[in-house]
Amino acid sequence: MEPKRQEDYVIKGIGGSPGIVIGKAQPIDRDRVDMLAYRLIGEAEVPGEERRFKIAVEESKEQCLKVKDNILSQDAKEVVYIIDAQLMILEDRMLIDETIRRIREEKVNAEWALEITLQKLRGAFKNIDDEYLSERKSDVDYIGERIVRNLLGRKQDSISDLKEKVIIVAHDLSPADTAQMTRDKVIGFATDIGGKTSHTAIMARALGIPAVVGLERITQEVKIGDSIIIDGNTGIVLINPTKTVLNEYLEKKRIYERLEKELFIYKDLPAQTLDGYKIKVVANIELIEEIPSVLEHGAEGIGLYRTEFLYLGRKELPSEEEQFQAYKSVVERFHSYTTIRTMDIGGDKFISHLDLAKEMNPAMGLRAIRFCLREVDIFKTQLRAILKASNYGKIKIMFPMISGVSEILQTKEILEKVKLELKNEGIPFDSNIKIGIMIEIPSAVTLADILAKEVDFFSIGTNDLIQYSLAIDRVNEHVAYLYEPLHPAVLRVIKHVVDCGHNAGIKVGMCGEMAGEPLYIPILLGMGLDELSMNALSVLGVKKIIRSITYRESRELLDSIMGFSTASEIKSFVKEEMIKRFPMEFKDLRNSN
Ligand code: PEP
Ligand code: MG
């Protein structure tokens, strides 16, 4: 085994929330309740055991409600849904009734009855790859642990007792833990587990606390009082840094904070180049709770609302009314427009109650528009809800995973039927609603000139388009190194789609992750994209880049890189150019490959 260094020890994880902090480590032992005693009880003990369980559930509810109040009183209202989801689990009949049934019929103690019920619930989530749904499993774990602690009369947690400013180091943190963190005491945190979209990371971003998650072994490496640096931008934690490294990070922190503050000057400014070329910078959302952050970061509208999140993690389909209310609440907040993408369900966004077969190759399976064209009633309900909401603000409808012309013709036919139904029912809607498709399948690229005649806009979904063009599974870490947005084939594909769209007189946007990556912005500008849609936190940085260059320069840059034949040549060239132009922003790129 490699000897452990005493100083300057670096562990790499995942940047959960941006920012750099330097401080003293406070490892917290969440004192997990792992071993539960199994105890058979007598008939006479059953009522008492049942009562004990019900009291523990009530106590858990009260504690969750307190946490919710705490969140509401802080600046993190957009994450209340996490606690609401946990409160829903606490009300779940299956959890409560099954546990009571076990106490009564199997004559076991409440802790054991609960544990077996939880195991069944966890089992339901076990084979699901979807990151969002697997987070629901962790909600079940958090709630289970809370009830058990109450049953055992154990203290819930210790974060609220902190006396000084610290960096929390923990195996995992529940949203309830995170909600108790106030910025005056907890300046950062690092956890063994978690990913970019884990609740801990979402909460950290909402609270503005820098965090690194997924460090695997940070709790084994850090002792109380160790000096540590959290770099949430690069996902690095440094333990007991040397003076030189410390000074280097103090400087990095100063620069980062200055740049972040300065970025807010772009909030209300248009995304326009120095020579007056305008492009739309809009945001991607999954949940309506993200709207405040989108507005705060000055996005001009919504370029991608991933509506499948309304369908995930629940037992029944959302009703037309529920969907209508959700869409209405988004469109009413944006004066410009909201692009609602119809559900991209199926594949990895698996919904158990829809009785979809588990597929061998889900990314290429019955998902998105394919699913909708098979389950027409479910699709029509969504289209009705979207059309009804179009009476309250400007909506564009976007269809995912279109592979050819017949799919869009079939889709348009269904949309027309739904419009006619609403008209006959006297329900108002925008009869000129714009429709567009995502270009994310190679066959749609090849047919882009023909497809462009059928729709009002294109939006390039690079997350899938790169995966299908380069034959690289976007969730397989073994081939992740080949997932290359600057691959010359990818750049040619994008250019072709933009040109086909423009030749047919329609707008072309991009809503994959590539659109929010500062390094790629001049290239995308040079391609002539009309809209870039991204994570809200990327909006200001992207606007800054757009406002600092000319359209002419971006065309020249594009011309140069289109002459290269490998991704690495393109990347080095673009990096050099960007470091020259934005030395502070791209400083860290100097040593990366
Ligand atoms: C894409 O594929 O680029 C995209 C935006 O859609 P999703 O990530 O939801 O598949
Ligand atoms: Mg996609």
- Ligand 1 site-directed mutation target among 307, 445, 459, 463, most atoms within 8 Å of CB: 463
Contact 23, 165 (CB under 8 A): yes
At residue 266, does pLDDT exceed 50?
yes
pLDDT of residue 159: 67
- Ligand 1 site-directed mutation target among 129, 131, 440, most atoms within 8 Å of CB: 440
- Mean pLDDT along residues 488-507: 98
Lowest-confidence pick of 15-29, 39-53, 197-211, 357-371: 197-211
Residues 445 and 577 in one domain: yes
For residue 574, being part of any structural domain is answered with yes
pLDDT > 70: percent of the chain? 85
More confident of the two residues 261 and 554: 554
The Cα–Cα gap between 485 and 496 comes to 15
The Cα–Cα gap between 78 and 291 comes to 8
- Residue 319: count of CB within 10 angstroms of its CB: 11
At residue 74, does pLDDT exceed 70?
no
Burial of 358 (0-12, 13-18, 19+ CB in 10 A): exposed
User: How far, in Å, from the CA of 401 to the mean position of ligand 1?
Assistant: 9
Q: Given the residues 64, 372, 500, 511, select the one marked as catalytic.
A: 511
* Residue 492 pLDDT grade (very low, low, confident, very high; cuts 50, 70, 90): very high
Lookup result for tokens 């920012």: 19
Return the residue whose CA atom lies nearest to atom 3 of ligand 1. Answer: 461
Coil, strand, or helix at residue 95? Answer: helix
Q: Which two tokens stand for residue 420?
A: 């006619």
More confident of the two residues 151 and 479: 151
Amino acid 239 reads I
What CATH code is carried by the domain that includes residue 189? 3.50.30.10
At residue 434, does pLDDT exceed 90?
yes
How many Cα atoms sit within 13 Å of 122 on the Cβ side? 13
pLDDT of residue 561: 96
Closest ligand 1 atom to Cα of 514:
3
* Residue 87 pLDDT grade (very low, low, confident, very high; cuts 50, 70, 90): confident
User: How far, in Å, from the CA of 554 to the mean position of ligand 1?
Assistant: 25
Distant-in-sequence, close-in-space partners of 437: CB < 8 Å, separation ≥ 6: 398, 399, 400, 402, 408, 444, 451, 455, 458, 459
Residues 423 and 493 in one domain: yes
At residue 127, does pLDDT exceed 90?
no
User: How far, in Å, from the CA of 487 to the mean position of ligand 1?
Assistant: 18
Residues 55 and 21 in one domain: no
The Cα–Cα gap between 363 and 361 comes to 6
Ligand at shortest distance from the CA of 510: 1
* Most confident of the following: 37-51, 134-148, 340-354, 374-388: 374-388
Closest ligand 1 atom to Cα of 308:
9
Residues 389 and 479 in one domain: yes
pLDDT of residue 2: 40
pLDDT of residue 353: 52
Residues in the chain, overall count: 593
* Residue 32 pLDDT grade (very low, low, confident, very high; cuts 50, 70, 90): low
- In the chain, the number of structural domains is 3
More confident of the two residues 37 and 349: 37
Q: What angle do CA 407, 284, 535 make, to 5 degrees?
A: 140
At residue 84, does pLDDT exceed 50?
yes
Contact 442, 462 (CB under 8 A): no
Residues 113 and 55 in one domain: yes
More confident of the two residues 204 and 381: 381
- Residue 372: count of CB within 10 angstroms of its CB: 26
For residue 161, being part of any structural domain is answered with no
pLDDT of residue 4: 46
Return the residue whose CA atom lies nearest to atom 8 of ligand 1. Answer: 463
pLDDT of residue 28: 82
Contact 117, 95 (CB under 8 A): yes
For residue 36, being part of any structural domain is answered with no
Beta strands in 138-181 (DSSP E): 166-170
At residue 1, does pLDDT exceed 50?
no
* Residue 91 pLDDT grade (very low, low, confident, very high; cuts 50, 70, 90): confident
Lowest-confidence pick of 241-255, 471-485, 550-564: 471-485
Lookup result for tokens 């009522």: 47
**pTM, full prediction:** 0.70
User: How far, in Å, from the CA of 471 to the mean position of ligand 2?
Assistant: 14
Q: What is the mean pLDDT of the chain?
A: 87
Contact 203, 79 (CB under 8 A): yes
Q: Which two tokens stand for residue 546?
A: 């757009």
Closest ligand 1 atom to Cα of 512:
3
The Cα–Cα gap between 507 and 332 comes to 23
- Ligand 1 site-directed mutation target among 306, 339, 402, 497, most atoms within 8 Å of CB: 306
| Ligand 1 pocket, Cβ-based, cut-off 6 angstroms | 304, 306, 344, 440, 461-464, 511-512
Distant-in-sequence, close-in-space partners of 527: CB < 8 Å, separation ≥ 6: 494, 495, 498, 558
User: How far, in Å, from the CA of 474 to the mean position of ligand 2?
Assistant: 10
Return the residue whose CA atom lies nearest to atom 4 of ligand 1. Answer: 461
Q: Which two tokens stand for residue 522?
A: 């001049």
Beta strands in 301-427 (DSSP E): 302-306, 338-341, 395-399
Q: Given the residues 199, 297, 372, 500, select the one marked as catalytic.
A: 199
User: How far, in Å, from the CA of 321 to the mean position of ligand 2?
Assistant: 26
- Mean pLDDT along residues 355-372: 79
Residues 68 and 209 in one domain: no
The Cα–Cα gap between 22 and 593 comes to 26
What is the residue range of 56's domain? 43-152
End residue of a domain, out of 244, 263, 282: 244
More confident of the two residues 514 and 136: 514
Coil, strand, or helix at residue 460? Answer: strand
Return the residue whose CA atom lies nearest to atom 6 of ligand 1. Answer: 461
At residue 35, does pLDDT exceed 60?
no
At residue 197, does pLDDT exceed 80?
no
Residues 226 and 312 in one domain: no
Residues 319 and 462 in one domain: yes
Quick check: is 64 catalytic?
A: no
- Residue 505: count of CB within 10 angstroms of its CB: 9
Ligand at shortest distance from the CA of 401: 2
Residues 216 and 284 in one domain: no
Closest ligand 1 atom to Cα of 463:
3
The Cα–Cα gap between 114 and 111 comes to 5
The Cα–Cα gap between 302 and 287 comes to 12
- Residue 465: count of CB within 10 angstroms of its CB: 25
pLDDT > 90: percent of the chain? 54
The strand pairing partners of 167, in sequence order, are 25, 188
User: How far, in Å, from the CA of 140 to the mean position of ligand 1?
Assistant: 28
For residue 263, being part of any structural domain is answered with no
pLDDT of residue 259: 86
pLDDT of residue 475: 61
* Residue 569 pLDDT grade (very low, low, confident, very high; cuts 50, 70, 90): very high
Residues 120 and 176 in one domain: no
Q: Measure CA of the first residue to CA of the last residue in the chain; give whole Å.
A: 27
What CATH code is carried by the domain that includes residue 67? 1.10.274.10
For residue 266, being part of any structural domain is answered with no
DSSP state of 318: P
- Mean pLDDT along residues 480-499: 92
Residues with CB under 5 Å of ion ligand 2 are 440, 461, 464
Residues 50 and 22 in one domain: no
At residue 299, does pLDDT exceed 80?
yes
For residue 125, being part of any structural domain is answered with yes
- Mean pLDDT along residues 322-334: 95
Residues 329 and 369 in one domain: yes
* Residue 260 pLDDT grade (very low, low, confident, very high; cuts 50, 70, 90): confident
pLDDT of residue 5: 45
* Most confident of the following: 153-157, 312-316, 338-342: 338-342
For residue 74, being part of any structural domain is answered with yes
For residue 104, being part of any structural domain is answered with yes
pLDDT of residue 3: 41
Quick check: is 511 catalytic?
A: yes
More confident of the two residues 125 and 523: 523
* Most confident of the following: 225-239, 345-359, 468-482: 225-239
